[in-house]
Structure 1
Amino acid sequence: MSQSPPDWLPDSLVPVAYKLARADELAWEIFTIAIGWSSKGPLHLESRIANGREFVHLRGIDPIPPILSLVLGDAINQLRSTLDHAVLALIEDFRQESIPESVAHRVNFPIYEDREKFDRWVQRAPLAEMAPDAEIGHRIFQLQPFNDLHETHFVMSRTNADSRHPGPGDHPLLLLQAYSNNDKHRRLVLSAARNVVTTSSVSFDQIEQHTPEDGELVAGTDLYSVRAGTTAVLDLNPYAAIRRPTTGSWQPPGREIWLLHSYLAERALPILSTGTTDHSIPPQIDLRGPEIDPYQRLREAGRTYAFQRTFPMISKLLGDRPM
Structure 2
Amino acid sequence: MPDHPTVDEWLPPHQQHLLYSFAHADTLIENVGSVLLDYVAATPLGLDNRVQEGREDVIVASIAPVPQSVPRQAADVINQLRSALEHALSAEVEHLMGRQLESAEEQAIEMPVPKSDSGLSDWFRHKRRRSLPVLHVDGVLGQRIAALQPPFGTAEDQIHPLRVLAEHSNLSKHRKPAEYALRLGRVIPDYMVPGLEITGEYPADRPLRIGDVLASVPAGTRVPLDIWPTVAIRRPHTREWIVLTHELRALESWVRTIALPTLIAGTSNVDPIPPHLDISKGYPDYSDALSKAQTMPAAERLGLRLAGVGLREQLPAIFTQVLPAISYQTVEHYVANLSDAAAVEVLERYMRVRHGRGESHAAEYLRRLLR
Q: TM-score, normalised by structure 2?
A: 0.76
Q: Post-superposition shift, 1:251?
A: 2.2
- Aligned mate of 2:72, from 64, 70, 73: 70
Is the Cα contact below 8 Å between 1:4 and 1:299 reproduced in 2? no
1:278 aligned residue: 269
Is the Cα contact below 8 Å between 1:112 and 1:146 reproduced in 2? no
- Aligned mate of 2:196, from 206, 210, 225: 206
Is the Cα contact below 8 Å between 1:27 and 1:307 reproduced in 2? yes
Q: Map of 1:38-117 to 2, 5 A cutoff?
A: 38-117=40-119
- Aligned mate of 2:290, from 292, 298, 302: 298
Q: Map of 1:235-254 to 2, 5 A cutoff?
A: 235-254=226-245
Cα distance in 1 for partners of 2:21, 2:243 equals 22
Going by fraction, where is helix more abundant, 1 or 2?
Answer: 2
Is the Cα contact below 8 Å between 1:195 and 1:214 reproduced in 2? no
Cα distance in 1 for partners of 2:134, 2:83 equals 19
193 and 297 in structure 1: CA distance in 2 versus 1, 3 angstrom threshold:
same
298 and 59 in structure 1: CA distance in 2 versus 1, 3 angstrom threshold:
same
The yes-or-no answer on 1:168 pairing with 2:154 is: no
Is the Cα contact below 8 Å between 2:181 and 2:207 reproduced in 1? yes
1:133 aligned residue: 138
201 and 286 in structure 1: CA distance in 2 versus 1, 3 angstrom threshold:
closer
Cα distance in 1 for partners of 2:157, 2:91 equals 30
Q: Post-superposition shift, 1:190?
A: 0.6
Instruction: Give, as a single letter, the amino acid of the residue that structure 2 aligns with 1:284.
Output: H
Q: Post-superposition shift, 1:167?
A: 4.2
Q: Post-superposition shift, 1:215?
A: 6.1
Is the Cα contact below 8 Å between 1:193 and 1:214 reproduced in 2? no
- Cα deviation 1:8-30 (Å, max 9, x = unaligned): 11111111232122111100000
CA RMSD of aligned residues (A): 2.4
Q: Secondary structure at the match of 1:45?
A: strand
Q: Post-superposition shift, 1:224?
A: 1.4
Q: Post-superposition shift, 1:121?
A: 1.3
1:230 aligned residue: 221
Instruction: Give, as a single letter, the amino acid of the residue that structure 1 aligns with 2:63.
Output: I
Q: Secondary structure at the match of 1:33?
A: helix
Is the Cα contact below 8 Å between 1:79 and 1:261 reproduced in 2? yes
Which structure's relative contact order is higher, taking Cα pairs within 8 Å and 6+ residues apart? 1
314 and 250 in structure 1: CA distance in 2 versus 1, 3 angstrom threshold:
farther
2 and 289 in structure 1: CA distance in 2 versus 1, 3 angstrom threshold:
farther
Q: Post-superposition shift, 1:87?
A: 1.3
215 and 312 in structure 1: CA distance in 2 versus 1, 3 angstrom threshold:
farther
Cα distance in 2 for partners of 1:233, 1:217 equals 21
Aligned length: 305
Q: Post-superposition shift, 1:205?
A: 6.6
106 and 128 in structure 1: CA distance in 2 versus 1, 3 angstrom threshold:
same
190 and 318 in structure 1: CA distance in 2 versus 1, 3 angstrom threshold:
farther
Cα distance in 1 for partners of 2:38, 2:194 equals 29
Q: Post-superposition shift, 1:316?
A: 3.6
Is the Cα contact below 8 Å between 2:187 and 2:214 reproduced in 1? no
203 and 12 in structure 1: CA distance in 2 versus 1, 3 angstrom threshold:
farther
2:248 aligned residue: 257
The yes-or-no answer on 1:216 pairing with 2:221 is: no
